Structure 1
Amino acid sequence: MIHQFINNGYHIILDVNSGSVHVVAPVVYDEAEIISRKLPEMEQPEELPQDIKTEVFSALQDRYSHKELEEGLEDIQTLINAEQLLTKDIYRDFVVDFKKRKTVVKALCLHIAHDCNLACRYCFAEEGEYHGRRALMSYEVGRKALDFLIANSGSREHLEVDFFGGEPLLNWEVVKGLVEYGRSKEEAFHKRFRFTLTTNGVLLNDEIMEFCNREMSNVVLSLDGRKDINDKMRPFRNGSGSYSLIVPKFQKFAESRNQTNYYVRGTFTRNNLDFADDVIHYADLGFKQMSMEPVVADPNEPYAIRKEDIPAILKEYDKLALEFIKRKKEGRGFNFFHFMLDLNAGPCVAKRMAGCGSGTEYLAVTPWGDLYPCHQFVGNEAFLLGNVDTGIVNTGIRDEFKTCNVYAKEACRDCFARFYCSGGCSANSYNFSGSINGAYEIGCEMQKKRIECAIMIKAALADDEV
């Protein structure tokens, strides 16, 4: 299976199964389209069948010379022989064994605070309440969660714990205590914790920054871009905006971390479909690591993204990609999460097929110790897996998530993006299709475009180096 697209003047062919990316001449691009249509699951022939060659010449003889067509076919044959084009899907055969694989818990999202000092209008957590009550996680519950992680992580050495909310800094003393507790267990159990934190920055101060720089591998800083956009969607409960308070803190924090190991993370809605300008605004503020995510909301909400918004959104990604390239070449580049694509290595096969591992390898823990597949399922009792005291008792839900992969999802099986998005977010799939093996179509369209832009960027920057 191949995927072809033209972006910024580059004719690009992605061989989906091998991950090979080719920037080709237009003649090769056109020939490959015909060949792939005729032989979508070809057996790597040492020479293309004559009837296909004849069809290629017949279809393209008015656009290219005989010599160009011959040379193009030779190039395609060389790539086929090198197993870099029209390769077979070797992963599909491993699905049965993949479902039987033994999994261990390797990451927890600790809901350290079901409370917040902002009133973000799109918040899926209902200002931190998660369809329930306001609460702060006690040190005792947090300690049990870390013990649960250690006990259920098998021989895995590296473990991840994200302090999440609500707003985690409302429960800062417990955060510090749990980091200290985790560190105290590392040597005895041959584990190494990677702690991360997501914050709105309202309570950020020098002491917290210093601690995070020492103990937090990554920190996510929530900001929605330009002041008017941010203040409309991320106000305090009295309606006043948060931008002017948090931006100077975030700038100082980013510099204190040498512009690494953090993300300024925004959410764009129907209010700012020109979100590329918000990302560029981040860069103009001096930030180097950034992400801008589409809001996922009930379609009836006025700020929700709708299907008719997709064309405008795709154009914004193209716009952002061109600005990304321009600034990189000028020596003032930045990293945008969705354009960071490793074409040489990348994730392991398991991650490519099943993504984040929610419900099996990755779990969320509520302030009172309940276990859920991830933070977006918290509060939905149908997905309650157990508790830090009992462990996982709802094994049926766990096993359902265990079998969730790109081949279990009808919309993903033959999608070119499947090994990059790993089937997308299970929570979004469930919320919009009623099944974790369904699909969130709007999200799929955006993801596919981001992948195309990321590949084009690689081509453009590599072309500049030649």
Structure 2
Amino acid sequence: MIHQYKLNGYNIVLDTYSGAVHVVDELAYDVIALYEKYPVEEIVKIMLEKYARNSDISEAEVRETITAVDELKKDGQLFTEDQFKNLSIDLKNRKTYVKALCLNVAHTCNLTCDYCFASQGKYNGNRAIMSYEVGKRTIDFLLENSGHHRNLDIDFFGGEPLMAWEVVKQIVAYARSKEKEFKKSFRFTFTTNGMLLNDEVTEFLNQEMYNVVLSLDGRKEVHNRLRKTVSGKGSYEQIVPKFKEFIEKRGDKEYYVRGTYTHNNVDFTNDIFHIADLGFDKLSMEPVICDPSEPYALTDEDLPEIYNQYEILAKEMLNRQEKGNGFTFYHYMLDLSEGPCIQKRISGCGSGTEYLAVTPWGELFPCHQFVGDEEFSMGNIWDGIIKADIQDQFKENNCYSKPHCEGCWAKLYCSGGCPANALHSTGSIKGTDDFSCDIFRKRVECSMMVKVAEAIKAME
């Protein structure tokens, strides 16, 4: 399977199953498009007719181009066969161990964001803060169920996890105390709206957290429209100075400023550029996931402009990189030389198998986006996974188990998409959220173009 597209002056051809990316001239681009549809003589005839006005294109050149495509096919770089379908069957039967947990340490929040999937942090339930006893047992659960994994990930999430600040520090200290005994290494991530950042918090997060995610939607008017305090005021003015100070002290450690774009700001590149102009250089901007009836919900009519915005973003990133003030965009971090192992490409994020979410009460869910949906309650940190059938559903959920993925050229980049988005869109984790798929494919195209441009410049 191949995918061809043109962007920013480049003719790009992706061979899906080998992962090979080619930048070709117009003639080769057209020959590749016809290669599996017509015999050689017919391709020669069609090309000579098309390029009849171009005296530089001779019959010999057309045949040389066809021969070059033949060679690439023989070398396994074009029109390669799918070698991974049987592997997807093996993955269903594999023994999995937990290597990452999302700790919902706070089912409460000091903001009331309109689009919050967690119902302002409550997850459609009662407000709660995780106790140290639950947090301690959660670390023990992970150690007991991590198997051969030496590197373990803990994401502190909410709600707003800074509202559980004391227990966060205790959990980190306890986990660190167990590393040598179990020969494991913990890596912590923290997501915050920034309202409670102060010197003590900053020092601790910069010392202990591998990555910190800071929530900011962009321009002041955009951010304040939907991310408000309990009193109804926008939070932009309070958090931006705190974020700036935090990043100044963070040094070269990982962080992301993460925003959400909605129907209200389909021109979201202006928000990304605004955040970059504030001095932040590691950015992410996600499409809102919400009930389609909400006034800020993205619609199919928004898609053409969303595509345009991603192209604008890719071109501007290259422009800024050239000028020496570039930035990283999370969804354009595509490794064309190595990338994730094939098992990860097929099975995806590992939700429900290698990655679980834990509530303040110690209940286990496939990931944070399933928390509160009792249909997907898998067990708890004391008894472990009680409902193995739920885990089996997630083991079997990959880009080869979904009919809609069969002919998709991007399936080995998305692994079948987000199960939570599929559930909310179709009622089944085995479904596909077409809107999200469309956006994902566009992002892959743009990220490939960026990598192509960077590679060509490096060669020059």
Same fold (TM over 0.5): yes
How far apart are 1:61 and its partner, in Å?
1.4
Does the 8 Å contact 1:111/1:137 carry over to 2? yes
In the alignment, which residue of structure 2 is the partner of 1:92?
85
3-state SS, counterpart of residue 250 of structure 1: helix
**Percent identity between the two aligned chains:** 53
How far apart are 1:59 and its partner, in Å?
1.9
1:153 equivalent in alignment to 2:146 = yes
Rounded to whole Å, the distance in 1 between the matches of 2:143 and 2:158 is 22
Rounded to whole Å, the distance in 1 between the matches of 2:365 and 2:390 is 10
Rounded to whole Å, the distance in 2 between the matches of 1:422 and 1:253 is 35
In the alignment, which residue of structure 1 is the partner of 2:42?
55
Rounded to whole Å, the distance in 2 between the matches of 1:331 and 1:411 is 42
Rounded to whole Å, the distance in 2 between the matches of 1:420 and 1:251 is 33
1:274 equivalent in alignment to 2:267 = yes
Deviations 1:72-112 (A, max 9, x none): 11221221122111111110122221211111001000000
Match of 2:127 among 131, 134, 145: 134
Alignment of 1:182-331 (within 5 A): 182-258=175-251, 260-331=253-324
Does the 8 Å contact 2:88/2:346 carry over to 1? no
Runs (5+) with no aligned partner, structure 1: 39-50
Deviations 1:272-323 (A, max 9, x none): 0000111111110010100000001110000001111111100000111110
Rounded to whole Å, the distance in 2 between the matches of 1:361 and 1:63 is 53
In the alignment, which residue of structure 1 is the partner of 2:2?
2
Rounded to whole Å, the distance in 1 between the matches of 2:422 and 2:123 is 19
Q: Which amino acid aligns with 1:196?
A: T
Q: Which amino acid aligns with 1:229?
A: V
Question: What TM-score do the two structures reach when normalised by structure 1?
Answer: 0.96
Deviations 1:314-372 (A, max 9, x none): 00001111101100111110000011100011111111001111001100000001000
Rounded to whole Å, the distance in 2 between the matches of 1:95 and 1:166 is 35
Q: Which amino acid aligns with 2:23?
A: V
3-state SS, counterpart of residue 6 of structure 2: strand
Q: Which amino acid aligns with 1:454?
A: S
In the alignment, which residue of structure 2 is the partner of 1:12?
12
3-state SS, counterpart of residue 423 of structure 1: coil
How far apart are 1:401 and its partner, in Å?
0.6
Deviations 1:229-262 (A, max 9, x none): 0000101111111111101111121222225400
1:363 equivalent in alignment to 2:370 = no
Rounded to whole Å, the distance in 1 between the matches of 2:248 and 2:349 is 30
Which is worse superposed, 176-185 or 453-462? 453-462
In the alignment, which residue of structure 2 is the partner of 1:41?
none
Does the 8 Å contact 1:259/1:288 carry over to 2? no
Does the 8 Å contact 1:259/1:287 carry over to 2? no
Runs (5+) with no aligned partner, structure 2: 52-57
Rounded to whole Å, the distance in 2 between the matches of 1:388 and 1:439 is 31
Does the 8 Å contact 2:210/2:253 carry over to 1? no
Q: Which amino acid aligns with 1:24?
A: V
1:75 equivalent in alignment to 2:73 = no
Deviations 1:134-186 (A, max 9, x none): 00000000111111111001021000000000000001010000000000011
In the alignment, which residue of structure 2 is the partner of 1:44?
none
Superposed structure 1 runs of 4+ greater than 3 Å apart: none
Q: Which amino acid aligns with 2:39?
A: I
Which is worse superposed, 63-72 or 242-251? 63-72
3-state SS, counterpart of residue 39 of structure 2: helix
Q: Which amino acid aligns with 2:404?
A: A
Q: Which amino acid aligns with 2:25?
A: A
Rounded to whole Å, the distance in 2 between the matches of 1:463 and 1:195 is 36
May I ask how many residue pairs the two structures share in their alignment?
453
Does the 8 Å contact 2:112/2:120 carry over to 1? yes
Rounded to whole Å, the distance in 2 between the matches of 1:76 and 1:283 is 42
Rounded to whole Å, the distance in 1 between the matches of 2:115 and 2:194 is 18
Question: What TM-score do the two structures reach when normalised by structure 2?
Answer: 0.97
Rounded to whole Å, the distance in 2 between the matches of 1:317 and 1:9 is 16
Rounded to whole Å, the distance in 2 between the matches of 1:258 and 1:341 is 24
Rounded to whole Å, the distance in 2 between the matches of 1:151 and 1:88 is 41
